[in-house]
């Protein structure tokens, strides 16, 4: 069956891509907050009481910062969180990071991709200024494709306008 064969070939191609894939939203991946089955988060979060654990980074240091509408400027609170992230990353030098930029749904798809990239880049620039090596970091924008909250008012939008620092052990960028 020609079409089936082609579809399988295509799936194989995409599937292979997914295996090398830092995209934690890839095939079978769970939603946003860290324990997706696909991609880099499968290494285990560890015990949140262990200051060297990924869980500690995500929960205690804080893995994300939030932005105002249509802005990529870091607030004072965001800078404080990122300073903590930088300190942790400088201590735990085995980890590489991917910084994800996200937007709320109040915008067109293309613009939000570009806006998410600005946000991720703002975080990366700040971490570099705090001594984290640029070679350990990569950015990616999801635009409005991966909200963590699905209501359509400011209570959700404000949590979706975010940049998330995602750790991966041993995966030097």
The footprint of another protein (CB under 8 A) covers: 1-7, 9-11, 13-15, 17-18, 20-23, 25-27, 29-32, 39, 70, 72, 105-111, 113-115, 117-118, 120-122, 124-125, 138-142, 145-152
Q: Which helix (H) or strand (E) holds 46?
A: none
Nearer residue to another protein within complex by CB, 47 or 134: 134
Nearer residue to another protein within complex by CB, 39 or 82: 39
> 100 pairs with which residues across the strands?
140, 164
CB of 3 to another protein, least distance (A): 4
CB 78 within 8 A of CB 65: yes
CB 69 within 8 A of CB 80: no
CB of 136 to another protein, least distance (A): 13
Q: Please provide residue 62's backbone torsions phi and psi, each rounded to the nearest 5 degrees.
A: 100, 120
Tokens 């089936």 found at: 4
Nearer residue to another protein within complex by CB, 8 or 47: 8
């Amino acid at each position: 069956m020609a079409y089936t064969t082609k579809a399988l070939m295509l799936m194989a191609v995409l599937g292979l891509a997914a295996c090398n894939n830092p995209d934690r939203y890839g095939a079978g991946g769970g939603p946003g907050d860290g324990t997706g089955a696909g991609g880099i988060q499968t290494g285990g979060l560890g015990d949140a009481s262990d200051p060297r654990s990924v869980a500690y980074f995500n929960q205690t240091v804080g893995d994300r910062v939030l932005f105002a509408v249509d802005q990529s400027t870091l607030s004072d609170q965001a800078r404080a969180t990122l300073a903590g992230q930088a300190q942790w990353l400088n201590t735990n030098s085995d980890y590489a990071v991917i910084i994800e930029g996200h937007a709320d749904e109040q915008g067109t798809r293309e613009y939000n991709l570009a806006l998410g990239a600005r946000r991720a880049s703002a975080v990366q620039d700040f971490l570099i200024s705090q001594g984290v090596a640029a070679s350990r970091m990569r950015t990616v924008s999801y635009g409005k494709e991966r909200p963590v909250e699905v209501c359509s008012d400011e209570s959700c939008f404000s949590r979706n306008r975010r940049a998330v620092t995602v750790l991966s052990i041993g995966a030097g960028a």
